[in-house]
Amino acid sequence: MSDTLPLFVGLDYHQQAVQVCVLDAQGRQLLNRPLDNDSRAIAAAVAQLGTVQRAGIESCSGAADLAQELADQCGWSIDLAHPGYVNRMKQSPDKSDYSDGRMIADLVRVGYLPKVWLAPEPIRELRRMVRHRAALVNERRAAKQRINAILREQRLRCVDHSRWSKAWMNWLCDVAPLSPAGRWIIDRQLQHLRHLCGEIQEAEKQLTLMTRADLTVKKLKTLPGIGEVTAWIVRASIGRFDRFATGKQLSRFCGLSPRNASSGTRVADAGLIKAGDPLLRATMIEMSHRLIRTERRWRELAEKMRAAGKPPCLIVAAVANRYVRWMFQQMNQKPNQPAASSSSASSGRTIRKNQRKNQRKNQCARWPGPKLMNVSS
C-alpha cells in the first residue's frame, strides 16, 4: 500500500477499545476493526495504509483527549462529530461499532461531518472544575432538602428567623424539639453540610487560581449581571466567543432561542430549543432574574412584556436571550473600539440592516441579467 494514498478515518470511541474505519478517496474500505484505546497504536495501524487527510471521532466522554493526542502527537487533522446529528443521518435503526465507524469515515470523506468545537486543554480543565463545583452545589442543595423534609415531617417551624441564617441554624442545633431519630439524622446532615461548604470553597479557590490570568473572564466580570461564578461557567461552556458568527448562534448554543414550529401559513414558536449545556442555560436564566431586578434597561423590557400579557417564564427567557446577543457584541469588540452603550444597540442594528439593504440594491442595479434573476444565485 502506498504511503501517499489519501485516507479518511472514522473513530467510534469506547473506553476499552476504539473502532477504526479507514476509507480511501473512492470510498473503498481498507480497515474497520477495534484497536486499543491508545493514540500511537491507532496511528501506527493507519500509517501502514497511507496518509491521513482528515479524521473524525464521535464526541463523548474521553473522545476529546484522544483527538487532541492524535492531533498533537501524530499530526492528524481530526474533528469531533456531533453524536445527535450523526445518529439522525443513519439510514438504518440498527447500531453497531462497525457501522458507526464506517458512517463517520464516510461523512469525513464527503465533507458532511457535523463538527463540534474541540476545546483546548485549559478549557477542558476549567470545565472539569466547574462541573465538580456544580456537583458539590447540587449535593449541598440535596442535604438542605433532607433537613427541610425532617422538619416538615415533624411540623417544626421557626417563624422568627429566615431559613439558613445564622440565627435559624442556632435554633435548629439547640432549640428545635426534634425526635431522637430526627435529631440524629439532622446532626449528620449538618456535619455533611459543613464538609460540602468547605469543599465548595476549596473548589472556588482553585477556579480563581486557574482564571487569574484569563482575559476573557476578566472582561466578562465587567459586564452587568455577571459575577465570578457566572464568568467561570460562561468561559468554560462557551470557550471562545469569536467561534460564533452572530449573537443568535450563541443564543441557540446556550439553549435560549425559541424553536420555530411553522407549517404552511401557520407561524409559531414552540418554546426554547432542547439543546445546549443545562448548567449554562440555568446560569443564564438566573442571571436574567438578577438583571430584571438591578438593571434599568432589562427591567423596562420585562415590564413592557408583562404589560403585554406575557407569562413570567417567557419574560425571563426573552431577557436572557437578548442579553446573550448583547454580550456577544461586547465580547467580540476590538480593544481600540469604543464600547457601544446598551441603549444604542437597537439603532446600531437598524443602521447595519439599512447598509445591507442598500448593498443589495446596488448589486441589483449593476447586475447585467434579467430583473427577475436571483442575484444571490
Q: At 237, which amino acid appears?
A: S
Contact between residue 258 and residue 272 where contact means Cβ atoms under 8 Å apart: yes
Contact between residue 361 and residue 246 where contact means Cβ atoms under 8 Å apart: no
Min mean pLDDT across 43-47, 91-95, 118-122, 195-199 is at 91-95
Q: Which of 284, 325, 318 is nearest to 301 (CA)?
A: 318
Number of helices (H) and strands (E) in the chain: give both, helices first: 14, 8
Q: Is the pLDDT of residue 31 over 90?
A: yes
Q: Is the pLDDT of residue 275 over 90?
A: no
* Main-chain phi, psi angles of 80, to 5 degrees: -85, 140
Q: Is the pLDDT of residue 363 over 70?
A: no
pLDDT, averaged across the chain: 87
Q: Over range 209-221, report the average pLDDT.
A: 95
Q: Is 9 helix (H, G, I), strand (E, B) or coil?
A: strand
Q: Is 37 helix (H, G, I), strand (E, B) or coil?
A: coil
Q: Could you give the percent of the chain with pLDDT greater than 70?
A: 88
- Residue 257 confidence (pLDDT): 86
- Residue 165 confidence (pLDDT): 92
Contact between residue 102 and residue 32 where contact means Cβ atoms under 8 Å apart: yes
Q: Which of 350, 359, 231 is nearest to 284 (CA)?
A: 231
Q: Over range 13-38, report the average pLDDT.
A: 93
Q: Is the pLDDT of residue 246 over 80?
A: yes
Cut 0.85: pTM above it: no
- Residue 374 confidence (pLDDT): 37
Q: Is the pLDDT of residue 95 over 90?
A: no
- Residue 266 confidence (pLDDT): 76
- Residue 348 confidence (pLDDT): 53
Q: Which of 110, 57, 109 is nearest to 79 (CA)?
A: 57
Cα dihedral 248, 253, 256, 259, rounded to 10, equals 80
Q: Is the pLDDT of residue 77 over 60?
A: yes
d(CA 9, CA 23): 6
- Residue 359 confidence (pLDDT): 58
Which position has the higher pLDDT, 374 or 347? Answer: 347
Could you count the other beta carbons within 10 Å of the beta carbon of residue 62?
A: 13
Q: Is the pLDDT of residue 377 over 50?
A: no
d(CA 267, CA 370): 33
Q: Over range 151-166, report the average pLDDT.
A: 91
- Residue 373 confidence (pLDDT): 37
pLDDT category, 369, cuts 50, 70, 90? very low
- Residue 17 confidence (pLDDT): 92
Q: Could you give the percent of the chain with pLDDT greater than 90?
A: 71
Cβ contacts of residue 146 below 8 Å, gap of 6+?
185, 189
Contact between residue 292 and residue 299 where contact means Cβ atoms under 8 Å apart: yes
| pLDDT tens, position by position, 332-345 | 887 655 555 544 44
Positive or negative: CA dihedral 183, 185, 188, 190: negative
Min mean pLDDT across 109-123, 142-156, 324-338, 358-372 is at 358-372
Q: Is 49 exposed, middle or buried (0-12, 13-18, 19+ CB in 10 A)?
A: middle
Which position has the higher pLDDT, 345 or 325? Answer: 325
Q: Is the pLDDT of residue 120 over 70?
A: yes
- Residue 375 confidence (pLDDT): 36
* Main-chain phi, psi angles of 13, to 5 degrees: -85, 140
d(CA 43, CA 56): 13
d(CA 143, CA 154): 17
pLDDT category, 57, cuts 50, 70, 90? very high
- Residue 360 confidence (pLDDT): 57
Pairing of strands 78-81, 115-116: antiparallel
- Residue 338 confidence (pLDDT): 54
